[in-house]
Structure 1
Amino acid sequence: MRRSLAIGAAVLAAGVFAGVPSAASPDHERGRGFGQAALTGFSALPAETFVSASDPSGGALGTNPINGIVPPFADQPVQGFSGIVRNADGSFEVLSDNGYGNKANSGDFVLRIHRIAPDFRTGAVDVVGGINLTDPHRKVPFALTRPDRVLTGSDFDVESIVRAADGTYWIGDEFGPYLLHFDRAGRLLAPPVALPGVFAPENPAGTPNLNSSKGYEGLAISPDKRTLYALLEGTVVGDTPGSLRLNEFDLASGSYTGKRWTYQLDQPAHAIGDLTAVDRDRFLVIERDGGQGVDAKVKKIYLLDKRDRDHDGKLDKTLVADLLNLSNPRHLGGFADPFTFPFQTIEDVVILDDRTLAVLNDNNFPFSSGRTPGKPDNNEFITIRLTERLNADSRVLR
């Protein structure tokens, strides 16, 4: 395992800098925006990757082939990457979501944080560990799917993750929507924290006013590790179409502060995929349409500013990267120039340095086929170089 992590750290450092121009002036601070981002690293985890000697899964999917894959599966698939945390050794923690798309068909999918290490020299991604999410101390107030209190995709739909200063994890869920606090071993530390006044259809505590699978898709932690910012994927009933609520949560008190901002999607039919902090006022967010392959039209990363410089009542947005138009003059991964990342769900972005981002897709195994029609998508891990510096808080870059 140590060898795999060392490779991940060394190659990551080499891959994101090779053949890339030197830093330019921060033109976005003067309102001129960013230019075409460049692909600097490509690696992939094969779609048919499973946790060895684990529990059977996919029993509710039937037995007909899906993109050439025949369920059910003897083990748990390593799939559905919906959140990411960077480690100092070059590895990453990635969060699998609820499994197969909904509460009804995911009762045999175990919620898990995987540790992965990309190797850009070989194009491979190594799975070097992981932990299951559990509730041994009975913090969840409702009945769980499994009597051993291992959490499944029928219990929560986990879609976003951050690591706090004490090494514990906070995870955003879509079924509540809830905030969930886990220790370093994946054990739930406290009851799920509901968002006041907002109820998904899976939440029995109130009348639904948020569509299914539209809860906490984005979760960021402030550079000082004191505050969470949780972004809904969908619009609350009664809000402006395409507007998403960004909620502030104080970690010391374990409660929402009542502060809220509005993120406006380019189109109401779009969705967000991930959120990460740049500094105390700015974030990166993935905005996407629902298309894949040739039907994918919008897969973008925006820089957000909650200071609302134009005074329109919404988070300011600056485009930093179009994931369907990445420069690739060296034809990394054997792909053309420009390179496209044409997946239905792109749900992971993390800052590697002040101009370099890592981006991963959620491959929705075995359903998505954005790269090759009729074949299940791999979990692809790419790095991209921005044309301008983010001027990020130095604590974000550590």
Structure 2
Amino acid sequence: MINRLLLSSLALLPLAGAASAEERFPARLSGHAVLPALSLVAPPADAPRDAWTSGKFTGAARNDRPMTVMGDTGASHGKRATGISLPFLGQPLQGFSGFAMQRAEDGSIYALTDNGFGTKANSPDALLFFHRLTPDFETGAVELHETVFLHDPDRKAPFRIAYEGTDSRYLTGADFDPESIQLLDGELWIGEEFGPWLIRADLDGRVTGVFATRQGGTELRSPDNAALKIPAEAGVDYTVARSGGFEGMALQPGSNLLWAMLEKPLLGSNGAPAGNFLTVLAFDPAKEEWTGDSFKFALAEGATAIGDFNFIDETRALVIERDNGEGDPSLKCAGEPAADCFPDPAMLKRVVLIDTATRDAEGFVRRIGHIDLMDIEDPEGLNRLPTAANRDLAGKMTFPFFTIEDVMRVDETHILVANDNNLPYSSGRDLDAAAQNEFILLSVPELLSAK
């Protein structure tokens, strides 16, 4: 792709903003594995026939003709074609939205796929599932060991699901938007955005519980909560922003509490964000109840959301913090969006280390420091994919994706980070191709040892 001289490098670097005082640590690429963007899986044999073609409702009208409508990056990102068309024959594996801290017995990673195509309305034929997978950094491939489909035969969902009248009752992206996952005592806990709800399921994907979100005795709802009636007023009928539910949910070692982090700030009574911070609520899986404990995570200037949240010990945790941009900042459009530029490039993509044991008088946890995912050292040239850029990226790797939604500690010096590629809507590394599913192993000893 384009690799020319760096243009106005100082003007294009991300600003530290409100978090400028915290320390920035280096990150070095130790491995890179890629699952191709167009990776599909067959639905279960007993799934409704409707599920064998997914993405039929992503346009203005129903479309039953596979691979006939080109995906694009959407108006905010220039509406560039991504080279992959809908609907799909089968279910796309795209959209890894969370890693469990605990691994499976064979050492593989539990990874979650999100709701399908981005909204409740356009995903009724997108099945919900999780995987066991292993990135192979020697070969650069990602081995998919198992895909497990979520289903609700015991009618735990407190509303009518899309496949209500079927025997199998597989869940879809019109029912839930799963964004975070944890393994505890042989069960899986899933945080989602539409309710927001917490979902408990066994390792076969059978839902065994669905829990509403409560803070101080009040149920928190988003505009996609099935209990809401139209019209619903922001700040009154719901206080969780659309796509602002549980993006991250961390399992705390020792206490075995689940800490669920909202993706966006809560809404005040006027319907506007109540502040530039995210609320994190504690849930006790043993008692199946919210504990009442919570803390606040302050967003840095320029950050709009988080992507994942996982503890590395009993008190310290990693949080992916991001803006809404994608693509290298050296290709920022000078004027109107065009085919050869990014109108809203990636500027702030970080992994932040926080100390949950240290909170100020207002309940804000301490931000210890961060690494910059747009400035990763790669002296060995381990990056397997070229990046569209108008600057020299020799010896560097960037992770210029809209949604980066997976982080976990691997060992005392390494973390694993992956993206949600929003197939077929996001690009990032290329101007005219859908983003791949990328897994990067990062050496970050200074970050992980920081106190």
**What is the aligned partner in structure 1 of residue 70 from structure 2?**
65
**Partner Cα distance (2:364, 2:158) in 1:** 36
Correspondence for 1:111 among 128, 150, 154: 128
Correspondence for 1:50 among 27, 40, 60: 40
8 Å CA contact 1:281, 1:305 repeated in 2? yes
Question: Within 5 Å, which residues of 2 pair with 1:146-225?
Answer: 146=163, 147=166, 148-164=168-184, 166-195=185-214, 196-205=218-227, 207-224=237-254
The letter of the residue matching 1:282 is R
Moved over 6 A (4+): none
**What is the aligned partner in structure 2 of residue 304 from structure 1?**
354
**What is the aligned partner in structure 2 of residue 367 from structure 1?**
425
8 Å CA contact 1:293, 1:342 repeated in 2? yes
**Partner Cα distance (1:280, 1:316) in 2:** 15
**What is the aligned partner in structure 2 of residue 325 from structure 1?**
375
How many residues align? The count is: 362
Correspondence for 1:284 among 298, 318, 325: 318
Correspondence for 1:378 among 426, 433, 436: 436
**Partner Cα distance (2:120, 2:259) in 1:** 25
Deviations 1:335-360 (A, max 9, x none): 53211001000000011001100000
Q: 81-90 vs 138-147, which deviates more?
A: 81-90
The letter of the residue matching 2:280 is L
The letter of the residue matching 2:85 is V
**What is the aligned partner in structure 1 of residue 301 from structure 2?**
267
Deviations 1:186-238 (A, max 9, x none): 11112333334311001143511121110000101111362110000111112
Report the CA distance shift for 1:389/1:345 in structure 2 as closer, same or farther (over 3 A): closer
The letter of the residue matching 1:58 is G
**Partner Cα distance (1:360, 1:132) in 2:** 21
Q: Which runs of 5+ in 2 are unaligned?
A: 1-20, 45-51, 60-67, 72-81, 229-236, 329-344, 387-393
8 Å CA contact 1:160, 1:217 repeated in 2? yes
Deviations 1:149-173 (A, max 9, x none): 1000000000000000x21000001
**What is the aligned partner in structure 1 of residue 408 from structure 2?**
350
Task: Report percent identity of matched pairs.
Answer: 42
**What is the aligned partner in structure 2 of residue 338 from structure 1?**
396
Matched, 1:120 2:137: yes
Deviations 1:319-343 (A, max 9, x none): 2311100100011134532110010
**Partner Cα distance (1:256, 1:268) in 2:** 31
**What is the aligned partner in structure 1 of residue 47 from structure 2?**
none
8 Å CA contact 1:116, 1:125 repeated in 2? yes
Report the CA distance shift for 1:248/1:193 in structure 2 as closer, same or farther (over 3 A): same
SS of alignment partner, residue 95 of structure 1: strand
The letter of the residue matching 1:234 is K
SS of alignment partner, residue 132 of structure 2: strand
8 Å CA contact 2:69, 2:87 repeated in 1? no
8 Å CA contact 1:160, 1:216 repeated in 2? yes
**Partner Cα distance (2:369, 2:147) in 1:** 34
Correspondence for 2:258 among 219, 228, 232: 228
8 Å CA contact 1:116, 1:129 repeated in 2? yes
**Partner Cα distance (2:109, 2:357) in 1:** 31
8 Å CA contact 1:41, 1:120 repeated in 2? yes
Deviations 1:280-330 (A, max 9, x none): 222110000000012100000111112336656311112231110010001
Q: Which runs of 5+ in 1 are unaligned?
A: 1-30, 393-398
8 Å CA contact 1:323, 1:340 repeated in 2? yes
Correspondence for 1:133 among 150, 154, 165: 150
**Partner Cα distance (1:216, 1:122) in 2:** 34
Report the CA distance shift for 1:268/1:36 in structure 2 as closer, same or farther (over 3 A): closer
TM-score by length of structure 2 reads 0.76
The letter of the residue matching 2:370 is V
Q: Which of 1 and 2 has greater Rg?
A: 2
The letter of the residue matching 2:34 is A
**What is the aligned partner in structure 1 of residue 96 from structure 2?**
81
Report the CA distance shift for 1:92/1:69 in structure 2 as closer, same or farther (over 3 A): same
> What displacement does 1:73 show?
0.9
The letter of the residue matching 2:412 is D
